[in-house]
Structure 1
Amino acid sequence: MADAEGAKRLTGLLNGIAQSSYYGNADITEELLKSELYPNLPADQFRALLEKMRGLLKSIVSADMDINQIDAFLTAQAKKQGGITTEQAAVIAKFWKNHKRKIRESVVSQSRLENNLKSMNWRIDLKSQSRHTDQENSPVAIVEMEIGKNDKIQHE
């Protein structure tokens, strides 16, 4: 894993995991990742690597780790028996730094059960002239909201 090719393959694996797990890309399969990134690795070793990286990424995403947290987490993983190498830790940290915002947005979007507010405009109108004096200066609020769920927008 000390070479640039190994780092490139691991980055590709992490991208594939993110695509299938967080971005909903069903075209990214375990078989595709193995054939494209690790064709010479035995199937059981590839599955172990994939599950290890999937588990690490899941822990990182669920904790929404910042830079300090991920450094501490990956250092602990590198020191653990059967953990990751320091080179793998560097690749994972770089991947998370580059993809944190997009993965977080995807996870938040997928976890919303209710509609959410897309935009809102409002104004207050005041009558300045009327036949009846009791209707003058009575404020009226006008509110326009765009409410949507998963890119579907409803005007309220």
Structure 2
Amino acid sequence: MADVASKSLSGLLFGLVQITFYRNPAVTEQMLKDELYPELSEQDFQVLVEKMNGILRSITSADMEFNQLEAFLTAQTKKQKGITPDQAAVLTKFWKSHKAKIRECLINQNKWENCLRNFSWRVDLKTQSKHLDQTNTPVALVELELGKNDQESEFLCLELNENKVNQLLKKLTEIEESITALSCTN
């Protein structure tokens, strides 16, 4: 009997993650009730859904490690109208197997702009130019692969002379110093 309850709760958790985090329109709370908890009243099912959704949101927003999760779920079992130890065990098992996927999904959903997918560079020697004084000078060729979520990548190619490379390095140093200063104050 406990095995059936564990499987139903695992299915409910998976369904709630599909609805809440993956935004899967094919999964609905009514479908979960009909398939997993047909014997529960509508009110009891809503109480269970709200409780599990709240716990999932807390676990996810804190990006809980397993020792934090254990302490959190232990506290939930001691609360009045909290969860049972069996439910805590199912939640622990569920989080262990789904944490990475949920985290990756949330990160991808919250990216506003393109991100850097790949970066490559090389230094060449310029052998031809409109201006004679620019031949036989080193040139840095930089290729950036940019993209957002599952969209096709865009490529940005840059050709930098020695002066531009030095300017770029100076800007990167300024950025690094700013990040270091901000991270030290927090």
Cα 1:134–1:145 shift into 2, 3 Å: closer
Residue identity matched to 1:70 = L
Matches within 5 A, 1:70-81: 70-81=69-80
Unaligned runs of 5+ in 1: none
- Structure number with the bigger relative contact order (C-alpha 8 A, sep ≥ 6) is 1
Residue aligning to 2:163: none
- The alpha-carbon distance between structure 1 residues 141 and 79, as it changes in their structure 2 partners (threshold 3 A), is same
Structure 2: distance between partners of 1:110 and 1:142:
32
The equivalent of 1:101 in structure 2 is 100
Question: What's the offset of the Cα at 1:20?
Answer: 1.1
Alpha carbons of 1:4 and 1:66: their partners in 2 closer, same or farther (altered >3 Å)? same
Give the Å deviation of 1:124: 1.0
- Indicate the percent of aligned positions where both proteins have the same amino acid: 52
User: How many matched pairs?
Assistant: 154
**1:120 counterpart SS class:** strand
Q: Which residue is equivalent to 2:3?
A: 4
Matched-pair contact (CA < 8 Å) for 2:126–2:134: no
Q: What's the TM-score, normalizing by structure 2? A: 0.78
Match of 2:112, SS? coil
Deviations 1:53-102 (A, max 9, x none): 00100000000000100000000000111100000000000000000000
In the TM superposition, 1:36-75 aligns within 5 A as 36-75=35-74
Shift of 1:134: 6.8
1:155 corresponds to 2:134: no
- How far residue 128 of structure 1 moved from its aligned partner, in angstroms, is 7.5
Structure 1 counterpart of 2:113: 114
Look up the match of 1:24.
23
1:155 deviates by 1.6
Normalising by structure 1, we get a TM-score of: 0.92
RMSD: 1.9
Q: How far, CA to CA, are the matches of 1:134 and 1:30 in structure 2?
A: 68
**Cα 1:43–1:129 shift into 2, 3 Å:** closer
What CA distance in whole angstroms lies between the structure 1 residues aligned with 2:24 and 2:133? 64
- The 2-side partners of 1:133 and 1:49 are apart by 76
Tell me the alpha carbon deviations over residues 95-138 of structure 1, each in whole angstroms, 9 at most, x when there is no partner: 000000000000000011111111122111134899x67743x2
Instruction: Assess, with a 3 A threshold, how the Cα gap between structure 1 residues 4 and 114 changes in structure 2: closer, same or farther.
Output: same
Q: Aligned letter for 1:17?
A: L
Alpha-carbon distance in 2 for matches of 1:129, 1:47: 73
Q: Distance in 1 between matches of 2:77 and 2:85?
A: 6
Unaligned runs of 5+ in 2: 157-186
SS at match of 2:27: coil
